[in-house]
Copies of this chain bind each other. A is one copy, B any other.
Amino acid sequence: MSTDRIYNFNAGPAALPLSVLEEIRESFLNYDNSGMSVTEISHRSKWFDDIIEDAIARTKRLLDLDESYQVLFLQGGASLQFCMIPMNFLGNGDTADYVNTGTWSTKAIKEAQIQGKTIQVVASSEDKNFAYIPSDIQFTPNAVYTHITSNNTIKGTQWARFPDTGNVPLIADMSSDILSRSFDVKPFGLIYAGAQKNMGPAGVCLVIIRDDLLQRSPDTLPTMLNYQTFANKNSMFNTPPCFAVYTIQLVLKWLEETIGGLAQMEAINQQKARTLYDFFDASRFYSGTAEPDSRSIMNVTFRLPSEDLESTFVQEAYENGFSGLKGHRSVGGCRASIYNATPLQAVEDLVDFMQTFEQING
């Protein structure tokens, strides 16, 4: 570990690859010989056009998207998507399915309901405090879409395999596990992800939308709430969040050229997660909170024997160079978010620290 950088286990905004940060810093006063900072170039310039086109092309390659998908960059975070999805896709007489796996699913459901849309919550893991991912779900055959949260940042659970909804398109909030593993995109009609966990800084939301869903957006919507506005103008109907898109471009380049793609990234992420879960499973001091077959490889939630010990643990970990280990304020406990940019070494060093902490406090 560098002497002035710490290990960052923040849940989001989160760690970015050091090489990406260094490249941004290096060119920050003069981007690509433009004589301007990347924050000062016009979004209508050749420079920014190259940035956004490269970001789109890399996203398409990494996720193996065919021509029926468009890659968009919106603002407002995943939270604005909660409202835009039912607004764009559910007309009178339409219905959609939602699976409730925690805080973010619950918010997505609320934003459909507040608009008076007809939806069914077809499964929920609320009975066990969202510690698992439901299975054997009866989906509604004529639903316009089925909404899931692929990874639950707060509860530390993740869909290991996506559910089979037949011909009904899946819509997934992948904010906290986008680009962390390989998966088949074909069942998905829309994927969205706030950038600030696996892709870039806060302030941009990736939206991947398939033509059949895009065509449902009615002309009567406000312009900035209609997906077609962004699709028709390549995300530049108005000024996009240029710096955030630029950072995403560099992270995607790092994923492709340094890591080697999603299969390689997934192998590293699996190893990081296994290192922590194996340690918990062998420990009587630390315990994971998610059910084993629903464990997230991105957000590892765990408890210590008491809240006092948890508080001491988080504080001493911080003093030893491990930041962001406090659980979400709504659930307490501890959490290590180990997104793409968190190196295996950070996890191994954390386990070493945890062993020492247990020896002293156990």
Interface residues of A (CB under 8 A from B): 4-6, 8, 10-16, 18, 21-22, 24-25, 28-30, 33-37, 39-44, 75-80, 82-83, 87, 107, 110-111, 114-115, 194, 196, 200-204, 220-225, 237-244, 247, 321, 323-324, 329
B241–A203 touching, CB < 8 Å: yes
A244–B241 touching, CB < 8 Å: yes
Contacts of A35 in B (CB 8 A): 4-6, 8, 321, 323
Query: CA of A247 to CA of B241 in the docked complex: distance in angstroms?
Result: 13
Query: CA of A11 to CA of B39 in the docked complex: distance in angstroms?
Result: 13
Contacts of A36 in B (CB 8 A): 5-6, 8, 10, 15, 323
Query: CA of A63 to CA of B200 in the docked complex: distance in angstroms?
Result: 33
> Would you list 7 pairs from A and B whose C-beta atoms are within 8 A, ordered by A residue?
A8-B35, A11-B42, A13-B42, A16-B37, A44-B329, A111-B223, A241-B244
**A-B CB proximity, top 9 nearest:** A203-B241, A6-B35, A75-B75, A83-B222, A39-B201, A79-B238, A25-B28, A202-B239, A80-B224
Query: CA of A21 to CA of B80 in the docked complex: distance in angstroms?
Result: 30
A39–B10 touching, CB < 8 Å: no
Query: CA of A42 to CA of B111 in the docked complex: distance in angstroms?
Result: 25
Contacts of A78 in B (CB 8 A): 238
Query: CA of A8 to CA of B41 in the docked complex: distance in angstroms?
Result: 9
Query: CA of A83 to CA of B80 in the docked complex: distance in angstroms?
Result: 14
Q: Which residue of B lies closest to A27 (CB)?
A: B25
Copies in the complex: 2
Q: Is the interface of A mostly helix, strand, loop or mixed?
A: loop
Q: Which of A5, A78, A115, A239 has the most B CB atoms < 10 Å from its CB? A: A239
B76–A39 touching, CB < 8 Å: no
Contacts of A37 in B (CB 8 A): 16, 21
Query: CA of A318 to CA of B109 in the docked complex: distance in angstroms?
Result: 52
A40–B25 touching, CB < 8 Å: no
Query: CA of A38 to CA of B177 in the docked complex: distance in angstroms?
Result: 22
A14–B28 touching, CB < 8 Å: no
Query: CA of A341 to CA of B18 in the docked complex: distance in angstroms?
Result: 30
13 more CB-based (< 8 A) A-B contacts, given A79-B224, A241-B244: A4-B33, A10-B36, A13-B39, A13-B40, A14-B40, A16-B37, A16-B40, A25-B28, A25-B29, A77-B238, A78-B238, A114-B221, A201-B242
Query: CA of A356 to CA of B41 in the docked complex: distance in angstroms?
Result: 27
- The 8 Å CB contact of A196, one of B15, B83, B239, is B239
Contacts of A194 in B (CB 8 A): 239
A13–B79 touching, CB < 8 Å: no
Query: CA of A240 to CA of B28 in the docked complex: distance in angstroms?
Result: 22
A242–B202 touching, CB < 8 Å: yes
- The 8 Å CB contact of A111, one of B5, B44, B77, B222, is B222
Q: Which of A11, A77, A107, A243 has the most B CB atoms < 10 Å from its CB? A: A243
Q: What is the minimal beta-carbon distance from A28 to any residue of chain B, in angstroms?
A: 4
- The 8 Å CB contact of A241, one of B5, B30, B202, is B202
B39–A28 touching, CB < 8 Å: no
| Contact A13 to B203, CB < 8 A, known contacts A79-B224, A83-B222, A323-B36 | no
Q: Which residue of B lies closest to A77 (CB)?
A: B238
Q: Which of A21, A43, A75 has the most B CB atoms < 10 Å from its CB? A: A75
